[in-house]
Amino acid sequence: MWVKKMRHPEAEYVRKTFVLRKMDFPPEVSLTKKSMLRWVALSLGLISENESRSTVIDIMDLFFTKIFAEGKNPGSQEIQEELEGKGLKVSEKLVRYHLNKMCEIGFLSHAKGRYSLNPAPDAERNDLAEAFSYWYKRELDESVNRVGTALTKLQAAYENK
């Protein structure tokens, strides 16, 4: 038996989904880049709690190496080729997928085939924490304000019954 799934009419209004997990940051997380990358990826919803695959971690590691250690804005093909050079089989499409997820979060931008940090307006160009904070808060504040508006109107609708 085939069942047609009903779609909520409000589903078309969804423009973005935010994941930000509230997590402890114990000192041992800071011991290696790999553990910090995993912590960040988990806190931002780029991986799930029981994720064993490390592709996004490898992509983030290589991207941050390019940006911070080499001062380059890499393209997805460049990252894919370097990952394959390290013996990791990954498609360019998958690299783009993970980099674009970081663009959705707001701290990366993509132009002319290259990925770069999306700096906060009043911060240093390569301040990753400030860029994330600025862009994520901006989107989150907008969403919180819209929910607040809806709740105020909803309350009024119940009170004016």
Tell me the CA distances in angstroms from 79 to 33, 59, 99, 128, 158, one per residue in order: 18, 7, 10, 19, 55
Q: What are phi and psi of 63, to 5 degrees?
A: -60, -50
Residue 140: count other Cβ atoms within 10 Å of its Cβ.
Answer: 13
- Residue 3: per-residue pLDDT: 60
Query: Can you give the pTM of this predicted structure?
Result: 0.84
Summary mean pLDDT of the chain: 91
Radius of gyration from C-alpha coordinates of the chain:
19
Quick: pLDDT tens for 82-102. Answer: 999 999 999 999 999 999 999
Tell me which residue of 48, 31, 41, 89 sits closest to 63, measured CA to CA: 41
Look at 8 and 97; give whichever has higher pLDDT. 97
> Domain limits of the chain?
31-159
Contact 96, 76 (CB under 8 A): yes
- Residue 116: per-residue pLDDT: 94
- Residue 16: per-residue pLDDT: 80
